Structure 1
Amino acid sequence: MLKNEHLKEWARIVSYHLPHLSLPEVTGLATWSFGMVMTGSSSITRVSQFISRLNQEKSNTVRQRLKEWYQDANSKKGEKRSELDVNECFAPLLKWILSMWHSDEKWLPLGIDTTNIGQNFTVLSLHVLYQNCAIPVAWKIVKGTEKGSWKPHWHKLFQSLKDAIPPDWQVIVLADRGLYADWLFSDICALNWHPFLRINHQGTFQIRGEKEWRFLDTVVTQTGMSWSGVVTCFKTHPLNCTLFARWDEGYQDPWLIVTDLAPELGDVLWYSLRIGIECGYRDVKSDGWQWHKTRLTQLGGFYNCVDYNKFKIEYRTY
C-alpha cells in the first residue's frame, strides 16, 4: 500500500498512461521510478531505504517487494506468478510522450544507438530526441559477447512502435555511421518513416544522370563546405537515396547522411539532434541508473524494467 501522497499521485499517473499494467505492476513501477528519480540511483538498497522512510514501512519489506517486482516468474513465490513484459510498455511510453508534445509540426525525430554496460551487456535503444535530450522508449539488451545479427532486434523494436505514432506525422530516424546497413534503411522506409543515417566516407557514389563514380571523400573536401543531391551510393550494395554532406569547423570528418527525402525536403543540420543521445546515456549511467556500477552478469531481472528517464522528466521539479 502506498501512503505518501506524492507517491500515490505518481502511481495514478503511471496507471493512466500504462493502463495494461495490473495494480501490483503499477505499484512496483511507480515505486521504483519515483525512488530512482529522488535518489539518483538504481541501487535497490538506496531506493528501498528511501521509500521505507517516505512510506513509513520497514526497509526489508520494501526491498523484497521491489525485488519480486522485477524478477522472472520462475524466481517468484506463489502459484499466480507472472512477470512484466517490457515490450508491451514501449508503445504506451511513446504515446505518453506524444500526449505532451506541444509542437504543431507533427514532426518526430527518433534516434537509435547502442551502448555497452561494462563487458557484460550491449543495449540497443530507440529514443525520442527533444531539446538536447533523448528519452528511451524501446530497447533490447543482449549479452556483450552474443554473436549474430542485430537486425531482428531492431526490426522488433520498430514494429513495437509503429502504431503509436499518428500516420500523418513525419518521423525521422537518425543513426550514427557505425549502425548503417542497407536493410536498416529499407526497414525504416517500410514504416513510412524517413531514415537519416550517417555513413563512412569510404566508398563511392554516382550522381543521378551521370555515369561517373566518385569517391565519397570528395563530396566535401574542406570545412565550410556543404552539398546535397540525388545519388546512388556504393557499387557493391547500391542504395538509391539523397546524400547530404556538410563539414563544419571543429569536426575531424564531414557528415555524410543518406535519406529517402528529396534534397529540398531535408536539412543536414537535423543530424545535430543526435547530441541528445549522449546526454541520455549520461542520465542512465553517471547521473541516473549508475549502470556502469552494476554487479549483474545475467540478462533478465532489473535490466528488463521500464526505463526511468520518462519519469525523471515528469518529476524534475520535486
Structure 2
Amino acid sequence: MSPEIVYQWMEQIARYVPGLGKWQVKGLALFSLGVIWAEHSALTKVAEKLGRFGGPDSLERRFQRWLSNPRLDLMLCLKGWVRWVTSAYDHSRVVLLVDETKLGAHLSVMMVGLAYQQRCIPLVWRCYRTHDGQVQLIGEMLAFIAAVGVFAYPPLVQADRGIGTSPALCQAVADLGWRYLFRVQNHTQVLTRQGQYVPLWRLVHRPGQQWFGHGVVFKKRGRLRAYVHVLWAPGQAEPWCLVANDPLTLGEHYTLRVWQEEGFRDLKSGGWQWQRSRVWQPDHAERLILVLALAYAWTLTYGTLALHSPDLLRRVTRGARKRFSIFRCGLRLLTGCLARHEPVWPGLFFAPAKRLW
C-alpha cells in the first residue's frame, strides 16, 4: 500500500469530515485503511499490517491516542459523515434501518444505517453499557440525520419489534415528516370497526394469509392511528405484524430490515472482526465505529464498481455471475488494488438497484 493512497484518502476525509486537525485526519485515514488491509479491528492486528508507516508498537499507541482523544468532536464528524454518505447515494428512495447490536457482555450499540444492496451503511450510532431511554435516544439520532442528511424524498424508517412496538417512536418519526414501517409484538391490539380490540396475531390463521387495514393500535401504551399489515409468509413460523403511516408501504418492504443484520455481520465475524477489537469504553468505541464505517463504506463503493463493470467483476469472481456479497466483492477488488499498488479511487459512490421495491 503506497503513501499516495493514504494522502488521497486523507484529502477526502479532510474535505467531508469537519472538525479534525491534520494529524487526526492522518490517523483516521491510516486506521481505516489498516482495517481494510488487515480485515480486523484489533489495534495490534491493524498496526502490524502498516509496517511501511511505522513500527507496530508506535502505530498501536497512535491509534490508542486517536480513540481516547476527548478533543475529537464525534458529533461534528458525524454531521459531515451523514452528508457525505447521503449525497453519494444515487437513489430517490431512502430506507433507514434502526437496530441494536451487542459486543458480548461488554457493550451495546444503537445504530441507524442506510439500507444498501443487502447491506447497511452506518450513519449515526451510540454506545452504552445500559440504557433505559431507547425511544428518546433513537428519536434524537433520527432528528440529527434529518437536520444534516441530503434526501430528495422523505426516508422510510424500519425497526424490528423489540424497538418498533412503541407509539412514541412512531410519532417521533411522523413528526419528522418521514414514514415508518415497524414490526410490533404479535399481541399488539388493533381497534376494529365493531369497537373491539383484537390482537394482531388473530387476524391471520395460517401461512400464506395476510390482513391489511387501518385503525387504532397500542391500546395500553398510547393510542395511535396507523395502517396495519399482518403478513404470514409461507415457510415462516409466525406472521409479521406491521404498522405504518403510509398505505403504500406494504409488508413486503419489511424484508429490507434484515440488511442491517448482514451489515453487522460484515462489521463483526464476516469482515472487520469488531467483536475482537477489545475497545469497550463507550466513547472510545464510538470513535472506533467511525473508523470501521469509513472502511466499510469505501469497501462497498468498490463492490458497487465491481458489480457495475463486467471486467472488474471478473477480477474478483469466476464468470459474470455474482457469487459474493457486495462487501466481499469490494473487499477483493480494493485489497487487490492495494496489494498491486494500482491507482485507487478515493471516494464514495452508492448506486442501488434501480428499484428498492
Normalised to the residue count of structure 2, the TM-score between the two structures is 0.78
Of 23-32 and 125-134, deviating more is 23-32
What residue in structure 2 maps to residue 77 of structure 1? none
1:157 and 2:141 are equivalent in the alignment: yes
Give the Cα–Cα distance (whole angstroms) in 2 for the partners of residues 304 and 32 of structure 1: 11
CA distance in 2, matches of 1:69, 1:29: 8
Residue correspondence of structure 1 range 203-242 to structure 2 within 5 A: 203-207=188-192, 209-236=193-220, 237-242=222-227
Q: 1:3 to 1:147 in 2, by over 3 A?
A: closer
Count of aligned pairs between the two proteins:
299
Alignment of 1:8-19 (within 5 A): 8-19=7-18
Q: Which amino acid aligns with 2:219?
A: K
| Structure 1 residue aligned with 2:86 | 98
Q: Deviations over 1:200-230 (max 9, x none)?
A: 11132123x4423323112222111122211
Query: What's the offset of the Cα at 1:235?
Result: 2.4
Deviations 1:93-143 (A, max 9, x none): 22222222222xx22100000111111111101010011001111100111
Q: Structure 1, unaligned stretches of length 5 or more? A: 74-81
The aligned counterpart of 2:112 is 126
- Alpha-carbon separation, structure 1, partners of 2:7 and 2:55: 18
In 2, Cα distance between equivalents of 1:178 and 1:147? 14
Paired amino acid for 1:133: R
Alpha carbons of 1:96 and 1:166: their partners in 2 closer, same or farther (altered >3 Å)? closer
**What is the CA distance between 1:288 and its match in structure 2?**
3.0
Corresponding residue for 2:96? 110
Tell me how far apart the structure 2 counterparts of residues 91 and 238 of structure 1 sit (CA, whole Å): 34
Query: What is the rounded CA distance, in whole Å, between the counterparts of 1:3 and 1:68 in structure 2?
Result: 24
What is aligned with 2:297?
310
Distance (Å, rounded) in 2 between the aligned partners of 1:25 and 1:228? 52
User: Aligned in 2, Cα 1:24/1:3: closer, same or farther, shift over 3 Å?
Assistant: farther
CA RMSD of aligned residues (A): 2.0
Deviation at 1:255, TM superposition (A): 1.1
Q: Tell me the equivalent position of 1:86.
A: 74
> Structure 2 regions of 5+ residues with no counterpart?
303-329, 335-357
Q: 1:48 to 1:266 in 2, by over 3 A?
A: same
2:231 maps to a residue whose letter is: R
Tell me, yes or no, if structure 1 residue 275 matches structure 2 residue 275. Answer: no
Flag as ranges the 4+ runs of structure 1 deviating above 6 A. none
Q: Secondary structure at the match of 2:97?
A: strand
Structure-1-length-normalised TM-score: 0.87
Shift of 1:168: 4.5
Deviations 1:42-65 (A, max 9, x none): 111121122223x3x333332222
Q: Which amino acid aligns with 1:287?
A: G
Separation in structure 2 between the aligned mates of residue 251 and residue 27 of structure 1, nearest angstrom: 49
Decide whether aligned partners of structure 1 residues 36 and 252 sit closer, same or farther in structure 2, where only a CA change above 3 A counts: same
Aligned equivalent of 2:28? 29
When structure 1 is superposed on structure 2, of 162-171 and 109-118 the one drifting more is 162-171
Instruction: Supply the distance in 2 between the matched residues of 1:115 and 1:166 (Cα, whole angstroms).
Output: 26
Q: Which amino acid aligns with 1:251?
A: Q
Secondary structure class of the residue paired with 2:257: helix
Amino acid at match of 1:59: P
Is the 8 Å Cα contact of residues 34 and 311 (structure 1) preserved in structure 2?
no
- 8 Å Cα contact 1:42/1:288 also seen in 2: no
User: Equivalents in 1 of 2:131, 2:97: separation in Å?
Assistant: 24
Flag the 1:167–1:37 CA change in 2: closer, same or farther, 3 A.
closer
The answer to whether the aligner puts 1:61 opposite 2:58 as a matched pair is yes
Bigger share in helix: 2
- The equivalent position to 1:71 in structure 2, one of 68, 72, 95, is 68
Question: SS at 2:147's partner residue?
Answer: coil
Task: Measure, in 2, the Cα distance between the counterparts of 1:214 and 1:152.
Answer: 29
SS in 2 for 1:96: helix
Measure how far apart 1:172 and its partner are. 0.5
For the residues of structure 1 that align with 2:141 and 2:245, how far apart are their CA atoms? 21
Cα distance, 1:167 vs. partner? Answer: 6.1
Distance 1:206 1:153 in 2: 29
1:226-282 Cα shifts (integer Å, max 9, x gaps): 222111113223221001121111211111111111x2x222111000111111111
Match of 1:140 in 2: 126
